[in-house]
Amino acid sequence: MRVAVGSDHAGYDAKQEVVQMLEEHGHEVRDMGAYSRESVDYPDIAVAVSECVARGEADRGILVCGTGIGMSITANKVRGIRAALCYDEFTARAAREHNDANVLAVGSRTTAAYAILRIVGIFLDTQFAGGRHAARVQKIAECERKHGGC
C-alpha cells in the first residue's frame, strides 16, 4: 500500500517508528516530515499528507502530533479526506469499517508508541464494510459539497 506519513515535532519520534514498521512490512512510504524534533506547525504537515491522499498519490495517510487533534481538524478541511482521530484498536477498526477513513491521526502524548503501531496496523489492514455505512459516507461527501472544503 502507498502510505503518506507526517508529524509535527511532538509526533516526530512516533512517526519515525511508524515509518520503520511500514517499510518493514513492505509498504511504499512517503515521509512528508517533520524531519527532526525542531518545532513545526502541524497544519503544514496535515495539508501535505492529506493533499497527497486526495490527489490519489497515496492510498492512506497517517498523521502524528501531540494529541492528534490539530492534525485531524486540519486534514478534514481537505476535500475528499475523511480523517479519524483514533486512540485504540476499536476506534481504528471502526474508522475503517464504518467511516471508510482515509487518513488516521494519532497523538504521541496521549497514546503509547506500541499502541500507535497497533492502531496503524489495524487501520491499514481493515476493509470498509460498505452496506448501510456506504450511504452514510455518501452523506459526508454531500455535506462537503454543500459546505465546501479547501
Residue 80 CB, shortest distance to ligand RB5, in Å, is 22
Kindly tell me which of 61 and 70 has the beta carbon lying closer to ligand RB5: 70
Kindly tell me which of 65 and 103 has the beta carbon lying closer to ligand RB5: 65
Would you call 147 a catalytic residue per the annotation?
Answer: no
Question: For the purposes of burial, counting CB atoms within 10 Å of the CB of 13, is it exposed (0-12), middle (13-18) or buried (19 or more)?
Answer: middle
By beta carbon distance, the residue nearest ligand RB5 is 70
The single residue of 27, 52, 65, 86 carrying the catalytic annotation is 65
Kindly tell me which of 27 and 50 has the beta carbon lying closer to ligand RB5: 50
Kindly tell me which of 70 and 92 has the beta carbon lying closer to ligand RB5: 70
Place of cell 452496506: 131
The footprint of ligand RB5 (CB under 6 A) covers 8, 10, 42, 65-67, 69-70
CA–CA separation, 88 and 90 (whole Å): 6
Triad 71, 91, 142: Cα angle to 5°: 65
C-beta of residue 22 within 8 angstroms of C-beta of residue 125:
no
Residue 10 CB, shortest distance to ligand RB5, in Å, is 4
Residue 68 CB, shortest distance to ligand RB5, in Å, is 7
Would you call 98 a catalytic residue per the annotation?
Answer: yes
Q: How many CA atoms lie within 13 A of 130 on its CB side?
A: 1
C-beta of residue 65 within 8 angstroms of C-beta of residue 40:
no
Q: Looking at the annotation, which residues are catalytic?
A: 65, 98
